[in-house]
Amino acid sequence: PGGPAAMAGTEKAMEKAAKERGVYGRMMGSIKTSHSLGNKVRMLKLPLILTDASLYAGAISNFYWLTRTLEAVLDRRVAAEPDGLVAELRRQMTLRTGAGYEADLAELFGERWTERAAAARTPATAAYCAALEAAGDVELVAAAFILYGALVVGGGKATQKKVKKVFPACQHRLFDIADDMAEARRGFKAAFNKFAEAHPEHEDALVREAARFMALNNTVVLSIPCLPRWFWPAAAVALAGAAAALLRSRR
Q: What pLDDT does 230 receive?
A: 41
Q: What pLDDT does 19 receive?
A: 63
Residues of the chain with pLDDT > 90, as a percent, come to 62
What are φ and ψ of residue 96, in 5° steps?
-135, 130
Query: What are the pLDDT digits (tens) for 95-108?
Result: 999 999 999 999 99
Q: Regarding predicted confidence, which is higher, 25 or 229?
A: 25
Q: What pLDDT does 146 receive?
A: 94
Q: What pLDDT does 249 receive?
A: 55
Q: Regarding predicted confidence, which is higher, 218 or 230?
A: 218
Contact assessment for residue 23 and residue 191, using Cβ atoms and an 8 Å cutoff: no
Q: What pLDDT does 228 receive?
A: 57
Contact assessment for residue 116 and residue 173, using Cβ atoms and an 8 Å cutoff: no
> Which of 55-69, 137-151, 232-246 is least confident?
232-246
Query: What are the pLDDT digits (tens) for 2-20?
Result: 443 344 445 566 566 556 6
Give the model's confidence band at 232: pLDDT under 50 very low, under 70 low, under 90 confident, else very high.
very low
> Of the candidates 126, 223, 107, 234, which has an alpha carbon nearest to the alpha carbon of residue 171?
107
Cβ neighbours of 72 (radius 10 Å): 14
First to last CA, the chain: 51
- Whether 242 shows a pLDDT value over 50: the answer reads no
Gap between the Cα atoms of 121 and 223, Å rounded: 9
Residues of the chain with pLDDT > 70, as a percent, come to 76
Gap between the Cα atoms of 148 and 231, Å rounded: 33
Helix, strand, coil share of the chain (percent; to 5): 80, 0, 20
Gap between the Cα atoms of 218 and 31, Å rounded: 11
Give the model's confidence band at 233: pLDDT under 50 very low, under 70 low, under 90 confident, else very high.
very low
Query: What are the pLDDT digits (tens) for 143-162?
Result: 999 999 989 987 788 888 88
Contact assessment for residue 59 and residue 217, using Cβ atoms and an 8 Å cutoff: no
> Which of 29-43, 44-58, 75-89, 194-208 is least confident?
29-43
Q: What pLDDT does 156 receive?
A: 83
Query: What are the pLDDT digits (tens) for 164-206?
Result: 999 999 999 999 999 999 999 999 999 999 999 999 999 999 9
List CB contacts of 200: < 8 A, sequence separation 6 or more: none
Give the model's confidence band at 48: pLDDT under 50 very low, under 70 low, under 90 confident, else very high.
confident
What's the chain's average pLDDT? 83
Q: What pLDDT does 158 receive?
A: 85
Q: What pLDDT does 64 receive?
A: 96
